[in-house]
Amino acid sequence: MVAKAHITVQEESQVRPERVPYHLAIIMDGNGRWAQARGMPRLAGHKAGVENLRRVLRACSEFGIKILTIYAFSTENWGRPESEVRGLMNILESVIDHELNDLDANGVQLRHLGRLEGLSPVLQRKVHEAIERTRNNDRLTLNVAFNYGGRDEIIQAVRRIVADGIPAEEIDEVLFSHYLYTCGAPDPDLIVRTSGELRVSNFLIWQGAYAEYYATPTYWPDFDKEELRKALIHYNGRERRFGLVTPP
């Protein structure tokens, strides 16, 4: 009995490599509250968030996750104070300017989910160049949802399907998925939200139809490798049935 209990504890403290999500998506929430709790401006929280992204990216690669999608700027975030919006734009630019060499050298492929219009022409060009430069990397794909909204993505898809003159009877789920920003990528297996909020917030609302969800009270800048390990262990324990009685 003692030996069995020991094995159970061991199993629960380790991620099962054969059950690591292929595609992990994260709503990186709580940067502002993390900063406020330390008497710092909100932007300091976003900067700490970027530091943490670097750590989590490394951890994802170590766990064998192949796609990481992060929610960095939503279509609703334009309503934040102008200085914060500008700060988040600067952060994206600075990540491209200072991290791209490293990301590229580590086999990370960058993709963008969302609308580029609205970003400055310089930033649009930098995003295009980063995507182009890393397009053949295959160790891990980092999808950056920036100026992204799930409803907007669906509206854009419908508009493009209509513009392409696709007959109604040819529209099915597979075709529709090809018109989304995530075209060609499998749906997320696990969606994590930090900071204790229990909302989807317009993130991957089509792609997340059968995703498992995991929420933690930990603010994003503190969501480290151990926190990710806990999320993955929870995911290991989920039985995914995709609407069936038993898993397919």
Cα radius of gyration rounded to whole Å, the chain: 19
Pick 29 or 187: Cβ nearer ligand FPP: 29
Neighbours of 200 (CB within 10 A): 15
Pairwise CA distance, residues 49 & 43, whole Å: 9
Contact 202, 74 (CB under 8 A): yes
Pick 99 or 187: Cβ nearer ligand FPP: 99
Residue 147 is a catalytic residue: no
Pick 32 or 149: Cβ nearer ligand FPP: 32
Closest approach of Cβ 42 to ligand FPP, in Å? 6
Pick 63 or 222: Cβ nearer ligand FPP: 222
88: left (phi over 0), alpha (psi -120 to 50) or beta: alpha
Closest approach of Cβ 230 to ligand FPP, in Å? 20
What is residue 14's three-state secondary structure? Answer: coil
Which chain residues interact with ligand FPP by CB under 6 A?
Answer: 28-33, 46, 49-50, 53, 72, 77, 91-92, 95, 144, 146, 195
Q: Pick the catalytic residue: 31, 52, 77, 97?
A: 77
Paired with 219 in beta bridges are none
Pairwise CA distance, residues 114 & 109, whole Å: 17
Pairwise CA distance, residues 40 & 70, whole Å: 24
Closest approach of Cβ 195 to ligand FPP, in Å? 6
Q: Pick the catalytic residue: 29, 31, 187, 189?
A: 29
Pick 53 or 185: Cβ nearer ligand FPP: 53
Residue 187 is a catalytic residue: no
Task: Please report the sign of the dihedral spanned by the C-alpha atoms of residue 14, residue 215, residue 154, residue 111.
Answer: negative
Closest approach of Cβ 43 to ligand FPP, in Å? 9
184: left (phi over 0), alpha (psi -120 to 50) or beta: left
Closest approach of Cβ 57 to ligand FPP, in Å? 10
State the catalytic residues: 29, 77
